[in-house]
Amino acid sequence: MDIKEMAGLSLGSTSATSASGLDFRDHSSAGMDNLSESKKRKKQKKKKKSKCVAISILDQLHRNGAASALPSQKLAEAIFPWKAANIPNRGRSAVATRLIKAGEVIVAEQAVAFVTLSSYRTALCHACCQDLVEGSPRYECSLCSYAVYCLECQRDALSWHKKWCHVVASIKNIAKQASCDEDLLHLVLALALSKSPSLKKRGVLGEGFVGTSSDGIIYPCFSDVMGLQTHHDKAKADWKAAVRKGCESLREAITQLELEDEDEETICQTLTVEDLEMLAALVNTNAHGMGAQGPRNTDSALGIFPFVSMLNHSCRPNCCFASDHKIMYVRATRDVPKGSELCVSYINSYEPRATRKQELAVNKHFVCCCERCMEPLHLSVDRFLEGCICQVKGCGGVLIRTASKKESSSEADVALSPWECDLCSSVLDPGLPSPAKSKAFGDKPWELVSQAEGRLVAAMAVYIERRFKEARVLLEQFLADFTGKLHPLHVLLFDALTPLMNCCRALGDAEEGSRICRTIINCLEKVSSGPTLELANFYYCLGEMHAERADTYGLSRVLAKRHMRLAHEAFEHVESIQNVCLGKSTMASRLSKQKPE
Ligand SMILES: C[S@@+](CC[C@H](N)C(=O)[O-])C[C@H]1O[C@@H](n2cnc3c(N)ncnc32)[C@H](O)[C@@H]1O
């Protein structure tokens, strides 16, 4: 097999010589225009020397081949309860080597490289990923106006940062000029620099030594990254063009540095534009959100974790991840028998099958072949997420588009597809004239869905403007009009619930808010396969609303006690979910406060 094929790559414009890492192309000279002649000569001399010793990123990627085991795989197998195996259609997969219990850690791995997202630039230390509480002492590099470190990391991190500060400083502008994602370029640079010999010596990468494990945590090395899969060939042309432009300028900025140390040769002189592009593709396929720690609920950083990247996606996952500073932990969310595949979810699983598949195809460049997507639609919970209730008297079955049952259907196919009931087998076809007497949406599910979409979009526009009173009216009307016509688990009904709950809370109506919250929890429990942090969040909201109601002025003692008990029960759910998904819970103090008498 062609080695490129094995790596899953189609290298487009990359020539065979550059793939070997021995070709220095024209882009390098662009960055040298403003260097003096003697400096140019010095650089050229170094280039000649490096031709003999340098092994480029592309070259390493090809040698390792994305289909084989990662270099540190044996190390991982010694501490984690799974091994890598090839599964048809899904490639390398993590397969349990024994029964794994819910809550067990299956991967604990330090990021090879990470960056804070630009919108959270000052919220985390760029060296240890520790939260920087507002007003806490920190050091912000005034030259690049990018790097921010906590006091503890400041000394070591700064001496390393100083070397690359000039390049870091240029990324904002490069990203703008190339219409390329700024965070992507920062992570590409961080990843390229993780190859640095001097970085390893300084121990800036972290507590452990790369390529080792300690205390059950694996510290992967750069060559593990090189064993990861990319889908560079499948990326959209405009993404590739923007990334190429960004990488060209990034390389130019790197080659302008004069480091006069081992990094000069290992990084500045050998890194090609194709290497950087390949790292960008690697980031695109493998980067994981991190930093949703403490009070924050959203990702604030992005990191590369080669062993976490061995886990395939499933729309019915049995594992979840949670980061703690630079370490990513993956835990089983339910018991997993020996020999079963361990999977996480890369996307929101409360979406119809076609939407999930589309998202994975467009953003992650693969066709999902997970257990949930492979089961027949008429037997899967997926039919409810896009189904309408059959209006044939006494039937109560679920109507779904026949196109949804097919593996792949074009948008036009979907729009023109007949709908069929899973119980009475009635067929409603948009291509045929509907019965003259009937004006009911039940006879035209395609119109029902399109009306519902329009109404929800209109209500959400008001909600986004924080006009909670008006939004509540619109959302309540929406639910009243479409409940009983769309399936109760339909994604459009589900999508209306959280904003409605938030409107109720904003308007001080905890009674209605908690009722809606229970409906959300009920839907999530029916659709998801086990505990998730999203579910814990809703239980937490529920607990808070019951606690608020227990505190209501003038409430009878009996009712107050009841709400106290319900709050306590909700917080207990949060505690048990957090124990599984995070290995610890933040609920202890809340629970002692809400303890019913
Ligand atoms: C982070 S990697 C996971 C490890 C990968 N299987 C490998 O061999 O390196 C993600 C890639 O694995 C494949 N993959 C993951 N989940 C999949 C699924 N449910 N169906 C099909 N392919 C999947 C896709 O090629 C995807 O881009």
Ordered by start, the domain boundaries in the chain are 61-332, 471-593
User: Distance, CA 327 to ligand 1 centroid (Å)?
Assistant: 22
For 387-431, how does the pLDDT look when each residue is reduced to its tens digit (9 = 90+)? 999 988 889 899 999 888 776 666 666 778 889 998 888 888 887
Please report the pLDDT score of residue 338 as a whole number.
95
User: Distance, CA 365 to ligand 1 centroid (Å)?
Assistant: 9
Residue 200 pLDDT class (50, 70, 90 cuts):
low
| Atom 10 of ligand 1, nearest CA residue | 312
Task: Give, for 251, the enclosing helix (H) or strand (E).
Answer: helix 237-255
Please report the pLDDT score of residue 448 as a whole number.
93
More confident residue, 466 or 15: 466
Reference 578, options 324, 388, 407; nearest CA is 324
For 478-535, how does the pLDDT look when each residue is reduced to its tens digit (9 = 90+)? 999 999 999 999 999 999 999 999 999 999 999 999 999 999 999 999 999 889 999 9
**Antiparallel, parallel or unpaired: β 113-116 and 138-140:** unpaired
- Pocket perturbation via mutation, ligand 1, pick of 231, 283, 312, 368 by most ligand atoms within 8 A of CB: 312
For the chain, helix, strand, coil in percent to 5 are: 50, 15, 35
pLDDT score of 434 more than 80: no
Please report the pLDDT score of residue 12 as a whole number.
23
User: Distance, CA 310 to ligand 1 centroid (Å)?
Assistant: 8
Cβ atoms 430, 462 nearer than 8 A: no
Read off the amino acid at residue 170.
S
Lowest mean pLDDT among 29-33, 286-290, 317-321, 437-441: 29-33
Please give the number of the atom of ligand 1 that sits closest to the Cα of 313. Answer: 16
For 328-347, how does the pLDDT look when each residue is reduced to its tens digit (9 = 90+)? 999 999 999 999 999 999 99
More confident residue, 263 or 85: 85
C-alpha dist (Å) from residue 555 to 35, 548, 552, 558, 561: 78, 11, 6, 8, 10
Please report the pLDDT score of residue 411 as a whole number.
66
The neighbouring-strand residues paired with 324 are 327
Residue 257 pLDDT class (50, 70, 90 cuts):
confident
Lowest mean pLDDT among 54-63, 72-81, 392-401: 54-63
User: Distance, CA 524 to ligand 1 centroid (Å)?
Assistant: 25
Residue 233 pLDDT class (50, 70, 90 cuts):
confident
| Atom 9 of ligand 1, nearest CA residue | 229
Give 103: exposed, middle or buried? Use CB within 10 Å, 0-12, 13-18, 19+.
middle
| Atom 23 of ligand 1, nearest CA residue | 90
pLDDT score of 163 more than 80: yes
pLDDT score of 153 more than 80: yes
Please give the number of the atom of ligand 1 that sits closest to the Cα of 370. Answer: 19
Residue 440 pLDDT class (50, 70, 90 cuts):
low
| Atom 12 of ligand 1, nearest CA residue | 312
Residue 26 pLDDT class (50, 70, 90 cuts):
very low
Section 61-83 average pLDDT:
78
pLDDT score of 190 more than 90: yes
What torsion do the CA atoms of 335, 341, 344, 349 make, to the nearest 10 degrees?
Answer: -90
**Antiparallel, parallel or unpaired: β 312-313 and 341-344:** parallel
Please report the pLDDT score of residue 296 as a whole number.
60
User: Distance, CA 80 to ligand 1 centroid (Å)?
Assistant: 20
More confident residue, 185 or 56: 185
Read off the amino acid at residue 576.
S
Please give the number of the atom of ligand 1 that sits closest to the Cα of 285. Answer: 27
Please give the number of the atom of ligand 1 that sits closest to the Cα of 8. Answer: 25
- Pocket perturbation via mutation, ligand 1, pick of 313, 341, 375 by most ligand atoms within 8 A of CB: 313
What torsion do the CA atoms of 57, 62, 64, 68 make, to the nearest 10 degrees?
Answer: 140
User: Distance, CA 82 to ligand 1 centroid (Å)?
Assistant: 17
Q: Strands across the sheet with 82-87, in order?
A: 82-87, 91-96, 341-344, 312-313
CB count within 10 Å of CB 531 equals: 22
The token pair that represents 492 in the structure block: 């459009």
pLDDT score of 160 more than 90: no
Cβ atoms 332, 317 nearer than 8 A: no
Residue 235 pLDDT class (50, 70, 90 cuts):
confident
How far is 216 from 539, CA to CA, in rounded Å?
31
How far is 582 from 572, CA to CA, in rounded Å?
15
pTM: 0.84
| Atom 1 of ligand 1, nearest CA residue | 309
User: Distance, CA 313 to ligand 1 centroid (Å)?
Assistant: 6
DSSP track, 198-218: HHHHHTTT-SSPTTEEETTEE
C-alpha dist (Å) from residue 79 to 108, 307, 347, 388: 9, 12, 28, 48
Please give the number of the atom of ligand 1 that sits closest to the Cα of 309. Answer: 1
pLDDT score of 30 more than 80: no
Q: Which residues neighbour 320 within 8 Å (Cβ) at sequence distance 6 or greater?
A: 330, 331, 333, 344, 345, 532, 533, 581
> What's the mean pLDDT when you consider all of the chain?
83
Please report the pLDDT score of residue 11 as a whole number.
21
Residue 567 pLDDT class (50, 70, 90 cuts):
very high
Please give the number of the atom of ligand 1 that sits closest to the Cα of 315. Answer: 19
pLDDT score of 542 more than 80: yes
CB count within 10 Å of CB 568 equals: 20
| Atom 22 of ligand 1, nearest CA residue | 90
Please report the pLDDT score of residue 15 as a whole number.
25
How far is 371 from 384, CA to CA, in rounded Å?
17
pLDDT score of 207 more than 60: no
Any idea which residue has 């630079």 for tokens?
326
Distance of CA 91 to the CA centre of its chain: 19
Section 226-238 average pLDDT:
88
| Atom 24 of ligand 1, nearest CA residue | 366
Q: Strands across the sheet with 419-421, in order?
A: 388-389, 398-401, 419-421, 427-428
Please report the pLDDT score of residue 266 as a whole number.
73
% the chain with pLDDT above 70: 81
User: What is the CB-side half-sphere exposure of residue 272 using CA atoms within 13 A?
Assistant: 24
- Pocket perturbation via mutation, ligand 1, pick of 358, 366, 368 by most ligand atoms within 8 A of CB: 366
Residues in the chain: 597
Section 132-150 average pLDDT:
91
CB-based pocket (< 6 A), ligand 1:
66, 89-93, 229, 231, 285-286, 309-310, 312-314, 364, 366, 368-370
Give the domain 61-332 fold. Answer: set domain protein methyltransferase, domain 1 (3.90.1410)
φ, ψ for residue 332, nearest 5 deg = -75, 135
Reference 576, options 352, 334, 343; nearest CA is 334
| Atom 7 of ligand 1, nearest CA residue | 92
Give 570: exposed, middle or buried? Use CB within 10 Å, 0-12, 13-18, 19+.
buried
C-alpha dist (Å) from residue 500 to 21, 22, 493: 56, 60, 11
User: Distance, CA 159 to ligand 1 centroid (Å)?
Assistant: 38
The token pair that represents 250 in the structure block: 């990034």
Hey, which CATH number is domain 471-593, 3.30.465.10, 3.40.50.1820, 1.25.40.10, 3.40.50.11890?
Answer: 1.25.40.10
